[in-house]
């Protein structure tokens, strides 16, 4: 099927159950046909409209003529030689490309999805920043990463993290819509506890997320132990300050009663000193949270991963902290599939 057709026609993946019921009614079908369609797309996860055999053949023919099922096309799959991690290159209807990653650890199979083509935040240590911002993904384009990759790996995906290309909270409503589709009990039915949305710290959107009471886990990329330090590597700190970010995390806890996760990428000579560990403990204080320390995954740039000795000293210093501390070693770094490594700089090569 040509990209031109996918771009011009309405895609079924991305519609919620009420939209599919409305679609059915528009074509003189009873509303329950829309619910059946929803089940076929998200619960049965079929690859073809013709496979939806509980729908009348006339309705299936109409759907095949006027709609397309998947907004994305799977272009390439790259496997790691070091671990069971795979990176996927997918193409959007107008030819733009994104990457997603599957990581396996025991029975846990985690999909890292992208929410934008490129990113506007410009974190200095992140490969995606080199792309600049190209466009937001629709909820359908986010969810379709799950559907296409699930069919490709023939394994149950147990967790989804919104930590791929882009800043999720700069595409807020489409991200929430996608999470709701992943979580819907009559569809994919992925537990809210197994869905994590990560943000660099867009404070008004954290406040909105808190007020709306969403059930999904929330993670904030901290990556600095002071405002000045964070500002040098994350320009977004100019408008979303460190103190404001920590206050928003406290507000989230007070209202939701849920632990927030703070992500901290360890950069050699930048934020990995014992002084930084002490400042982190003062900054976070008694906030009920989990701190994920992420040894930096190197890209072509000035930053480097901290030495194992420095990482160990940093972790040992945090033993006195009032919050939980874990080290998250990224998977798929040999295929540029680790945290901060996703980028498709040539947006024309697969058209």
pTM beyond 0.85: the answer is yes
Crossing angle of helices 172-183/139-153, nearest 10°? 40
Q: What is the pLDDT of residues 246-260, one digit of tens each?
A: 999 999 999 999 999
Distance CA 33, CA 21 (A): 7
Catalytic residue among 29, 96, 99, 167: 99
Spans of all domains in the chain: 3-68, 73-335
pLDDT greater than 80 at residue 342: no
Q: CB within 8 A of 195, min separation 6: which ones?
A: 159, 160, 161, 162, 179, 182, 183, 216, 217
Distance CA 158, CA 218 (A): 17
pLDDT greater than 50 at residue 344: yes
Q: In 3-state terms, what secondary structure has residue 9?
A: coil
Task: Judge contact between 294 and 286, C-beta under 8 A.
Answer: no
Distance CA 317, CA 187 (A): 45
Distance CA 331, CA 351 (A): 29
Domain 73-335 sits in which CATH superfamily? Aldolase class I (3.20.20.70)
Q: What is the pLDDT of residues 58-112, one digit of tens each?
A: 999 999 999 999 999 999 998 777 777 899 999 999 999 999 999 998 899 999 9
Catalytic residue among 119, 123, 289, 339: 339
Model confidence at 2, pLDDT cuts 50, 70, 90, reads very low
Question: 118, 157, 123: which is closest to 135 by C-alpha?
Answer: 118
Model confidence at 296, pLDDT cuts 50, 70, 90, reads confident
Residues 257-276: what's their mean pLDDT?
95
**Residue 206: predicted pLDDT:** 98
> Is 348 an active-site residue?
no
pLDDT greater than 80 at residue 290: yes
How many other CB atoms are found less than 10 A from the CB of residue 104? 16
Distance CA 100, CA 221 (A): 19
> Is 339 an active-site residue?
yes
**Residue 130: predicted pLDDT:** 84
Radius of gyration of the chain measured on its C-alpha atoms? 21
Q: In 3-state terms, what secondary structure has residue 129?
A: helix
Task: Judge contact between 196 and 162, C-beta under 8 A.
Answer: yes
pLDDT greater than 50 at residue 350: no
- The fold of the 3-68 domain, in CATH, is DNA polymerase; domain 1 (1.10.150)
Distance CA 234, CA 223 (A): 8
Q: Tell me the pLDDT of the chain averaged across its residues.
A: 91
């Amino acid at each position: 099927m040509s990209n031109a057709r996918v771009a011009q026609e309405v895609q079924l993946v991305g519609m919620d159950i009420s939209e599919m019921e409305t679609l059915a009614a528009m074509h003189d079908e009873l509303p329950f046909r829309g619910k059946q369609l929803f089940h076929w797309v998200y619960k049965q996860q079929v690859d073809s409209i013709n496979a939806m055999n509980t729908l009348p053949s006339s309705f299936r023919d109409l759907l095949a003529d006027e709609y397309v099922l998947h907004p994305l096309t799977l272009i390439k799959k790259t496997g790691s030689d070091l671990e069971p991690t795979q990176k996927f290159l997918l193409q959007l209807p107008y030819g733009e490309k994104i990457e997603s990653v599957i990581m396996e650890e025991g029975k846990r199979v985690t999909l890292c999805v992208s929410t934008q083509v490129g990113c506007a935040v410009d974190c200095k240590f992140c490969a995606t920043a080199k792309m600049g911002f190209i466009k937001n993904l629709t909820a359908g384009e986010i969810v379709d990463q799950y559907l296409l990759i699930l069919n490709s790996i023939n394994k149950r995906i147990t967790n989804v993290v919104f930590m791929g290309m882009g800043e999720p909270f700069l595409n807020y409503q489409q991200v929430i819509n996608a999470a709701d589709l992943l979580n819907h009990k009559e569809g994919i039915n992925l537990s809210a506890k197994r869905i994590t949305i990560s943000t660099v710290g867009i404070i008004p959107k954290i406040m909105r997320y808190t007020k709306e009471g969403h059930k999904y886990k929330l993670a904030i990329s901290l990556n600095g132990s002071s405002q000045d330090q964070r500002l040098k590597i994350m320009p977004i700190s100019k408008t979303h300050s460190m103190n404001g970010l920590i206050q928003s995390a406290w507000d989230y806890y007070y209202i939701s009663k849920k632990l927030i996760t703070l992500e901290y990428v360890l950069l050699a000579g930048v934020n990995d000193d014992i002084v930084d560990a002490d400042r982190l403990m003062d900054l976070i204080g008694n906030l009920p949270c989990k701190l994920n320390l992420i040894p930096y995954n190197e890209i072509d740039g000035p930053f480097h991963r901290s030495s194992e000795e420095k990482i160990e000293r940093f972790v040992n210093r945090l033993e006195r902290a009032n919050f939980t501390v874990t080290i998250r070693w990224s998977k798929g770094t040999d295929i540029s599939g680790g945290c901060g490594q996703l980028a498709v700089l040539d947006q024309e090569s697969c058209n």
